[in-house]
Amino acid sequence: MLAAGTKAPDFTLSDKDGNPVSLSDFAGKTVVLYFYPKDNTPGCSKQACAYRDHHAEFTAKDVVVIGISKDSQKAHTNFIAKYDLPFLLLSDPELEAITAYDVWHEKTMCGKTSMGVVRSTCVIDPSGMIVYAAEKVKPDADPLNVLAFLAQ
């Protein structure tokens, strides 16, 4: 994953409705960008719901939360509806942002090795710099850790 102190790479990905969304659309705002493996899996659902449950705290700080996975727009639509998620989920099937942020790595699960998204989160300041970077985050603790960082 890219380290704190790095300029955040810009990207343009589609939201659940197919609308293009670029990181540069949020210039001048603090952005929490979290990368996760797959919609509707236990850990990813827990993480998304934790961000949902703390969304008012992020909004109160004028912070934008964006989740990114390689899932389709349709999968995101269903995931958002199922859990009533109030923030953007972006679809990255071509791994544009996922590789730019260096969160696509070899993983081992149940003895099988494959490539996949490492659950990672970064905070991007209003000038576009990464000021917080965490890899292999715990799904339910991730939003709380980010809020604690933002409170500093």
pLDDT score at 27: 96
Active site residue 110: no
Residue count of the chain, please give it: 152
Whichever domain contains 125, its CATH number is: 3.40.30.10
Parallel/antiparallel/unpaired status of strands 20-22 and 104-109:
unpaired
Render each residue's pLDDT in the chain as its tens digit; 152 residues.
Answer: 999 999 999 999 999 999 999 999 999 999 999 999 999 999 999 999 999 999 999 999 999 999 999 999 999 999 999 999 999 999 999 999 999 999 999 887 788 888 999 999 999 999 999 999 999 999 999 999 999 999 99
The 8-class DSSP code of residue 24 comes to G
3-state secondary structure of 21: strand
Would residue 7 count as lying in a domain? no
pLDDT score at 112: 85
Would residue 1 count as lying in a domain? no
3-state secondary structure of 23: helix
pLDDT score at 114: 87
Would residue 22 count as lying in a domain? yes
Catalytic residue among 44, 49, 110, 122: 44
pTM of the model: 0.96
* Measured CA distances, 115 to 13, 30, 74, 110, 149 (Å): 21, 30, 23, 14, 30
Would residue 3 count as lying in a domain? no
Would residue 118 count as lying in a domain? yes
Q: What is the dihedral of CA 52, 56, 59, 61, to 10 degrees?
A: -120
Would you say 121 and 21 are in contact if contact means Cβ atoms under 8 Å apart? no
pLDDT score at 22: 98
Q: How many domains does the chain have?
A: 1
